[in-house]
Amino acid sequence: MRRAHTGGCRPCGQLVRVAPGGPVPWLLVSGPEATAVDNAAVEPLSTSPVADELAARFAAAGHRLYLVGGSVRDALLGRLSGDLDFTTDARPDRITSLLKGWADAIWDTGIAYGTVGATKRGQTVEVTTFRADAYDGVSRNPEVTFGDTVEGDLVRRDFTVNAMAYDVVNRELVDPTGGRRALRDRVLDTPATPQESFSDDPLRMLRAARFASQLGFRVAPRVREAMTAMAGELGRITAERVQAELAKLLTGADPRAGVELVVDTGLADVVLPELPAMRLEIDEHHQHKDVYQHSLVVLEQAVDLEDGPEPDLVLRLAALLHDIGKPDTRRFEEGGGVSFHHHEVVGAKMVRKRLRALKFSKEITEDVAQLVYLHLRFHGYGTGEWTDSAVRRYVTDAGHLLTRLHKLVRADCTTRNKRKANALQRTYDDLERRIERIAAEEDLKRVRPDLDGNEIMRLLGLPPGPQVGRAWKFLKELRLDRGPLDHDEAVAELLAWARAEGIEPPTGCPE
């Protein structure tokens, strides 16, 4: 990544990597040199061939063109993003006409809101007319009106760090609301008062928590106060929009920070009430782990165990919600004990209900619910007492989620007792070795009967139907219990089962 830095307070074009949440050297510069440093930081965006060509095209037609929003913010943070967002004084129809003949493809699905999208040589761009929206206060849908100045457009945006623009033609940063200073201080504040901003669009409150997770920012005190006072307004936002923000929050660099802000301000009471419900009261007679705090630690540990190129939303949701069933299953036992019997069963049902309400996909909902349902299964392993049959069932029940289940179970160990923690990890190491050994001997990923459906029908003289299904299930259970059988043994077992079921094999069938 080509990036200016401040060695001697002068941009030098050196390659610099900036860690999320870490210091950004050029933002520490102040005074007259700050402008040069800022412009150097953003310039790589505007000097791409696509941006240059687009700027020249708009300038020739007498229009202004600015890079805006997240792309400018990320450039100043040392994180060049792939897509380019522009704003202009040109109206939507004019934008479309200027893009025609230049872009490889154009789409106008957002034209009612002033946005036209295009691609050029694989680069995606969106160009939006200056906005001066007002919200109707009921549906929270914007009443679109177009503005005439970039400053007016920026002031209506959600946070000051997103309210900066870069004049592509004149190579100048436009920052009417102090966004650069907010980036330097890593603070989320609103251009207008938080009450005005959140009244315009209550989803911005949840977006603040998302940025806390993604960027490592803290919210300004007045923003936190407004979020707490106005949390109920979030109930007016559609489930789809809420779900999108929650997913981005959970896949951020520090999801715990975002979750804590959502819970502490009361936003979770509106969109994910099962989360704050895990903050169970504990008295001196009935001690147990703080379920909510435990879940936050499990989330952090699950993130640390991820090994793919992208954050694992399914694993993170399962880690956060794995004990969601504990409040409803807590029982105080005689002698001061506390139990949570079958909380994994109750929790899986609660996960399905909540994720469906939030419009998560069926695949994500079922995967998270299954992980929650299975997360305690390992604890029956003891010190290795499981038979090979039990190990096969563990793998079969986990299916494609087995790798995630491994990570979730390991992340679920939050005891401060190092001896106990090490013992649990060694035991799980042993289980994984056994899975690998058995998998080397047989195909655990596809535990199937030793006879297929066609052979079952031939041997028993049956047409397709429920009886074939029952026979297939019997053979699968037999395979789980005893491992692979040779062909003759599988046939003998099938025929014995059939006769016990009152099914008489055809004459000539092998005994």
**Chain mean pLDDT for the chain:** 84
474 plus 418 within the same structural domain = no
9 plus 130 within the same structural domain = yes
**Domain carrying residue 474:** 453-500
14 plus 158 within the same structural domain = yes
The CATH number for 155's domain is 3.30.460.10
The count of domains in the chain is 3
Residue pLDDT, tens place only, 426-478: 888 999 999 888 877 666 555 566 678 888 888 888 888 888 888 888 888 88
The residue ranking higher by pLDDT, 316 or 502, is 316
Q: What is the mean pLDDT of residues 177-205?
A: 93
398 plus 428 within the same structural domain = yes
Residue 20 confidence (pLDDT) above 80: no
Residue pLDDT, tens place only, 259-291: 999 999 999 999 999 999 998 755 444 455 689
In sequence order, the 6+-apart residues with CB closer than 8 A to the CB of 122 are none
44 plus 114 within the same structural domain = yes
Quick check: is 370 in a domain? yes
487 plus 441 within the same structural domain = no
Least confident of 8-22, 233-247, 491-505: 8-22
Mark which of 184, 207, 232 sits at the end of a domain. 184
Q: What is the mean pLDDT of residues 72-97?
A: 87
Quick check: is 231 in a domain? no
48 plus 137 within the same structural domain = yes
Mark which of 184, 206, 224 sits at the end of a domain. 184
Q: Degrees (nearest 5) of the Cα angle 101, 104, 105?
A: 100
Phi/psi region, residue 338 (left: phi>0; alpha: psi -120 to 50; beta: rest), is beta
Task: Tell me the C-alpha distance between 299 and 250, whole Å.
Answer: 9
353 plus 472 within the same structural domain = no
Mark 211-244 as b/e (b = at least 16 C-beta within 10 Å).
bbbbbbbbbbeebbebbeebbebbeebeeebbbb
388 plus 496 within the same structural domain = no
Give me the count of residues in the chain: 511
Quick check: is 219 in a domain? no
356 plus 321 within the same structural domain = yes
Write the CA distances from 201 to 123, 143, 153, 345, integer angstroms.
Answer: 30, 12, 16, 37
Residue 15 confidence (pLDDT) above 60: no
Question: What confidence score (pLDDT) does residue 24 get?
Answer: 47
In sequence order, the 6+-apart residues with CB closer than 8 A to the CB of 489 are none
Quick check: is 25 in a domain? yes
Quick check: is 240 in a domain? no
Quick check: is 463 in a domain? yes
Helices (H), 125-193: 150-155, 179-185
Are 83 and 124 within 8 A, CB to CB?
Answer: yes
Question: Which of 228, 218, 215, 304 minimizes the C-alpha distance to 263?
Answer: 228
User: pLDDT band at residue 336, thresholds of 50, 70 and 90?
Assistant: low
Quick check: is 282 in a domain? no
410 plus 467 within the same structural domain = no
Question: What confidence score (pLDDT) does residue 49 get?
Answer: 84
- What is the Cα 397 distance to its own chain's centre? 24
Question: Distance from first CA to last CA of the chain, Å, rounded?
Answer: 72
Mark which of 140, 161, 184 sits at the end of a domain. 184
413 plus 482 within the same structural domain = no
Quick check: is 202 in a domain? no
Q: pTM to 2 decimals?
A: 0.77
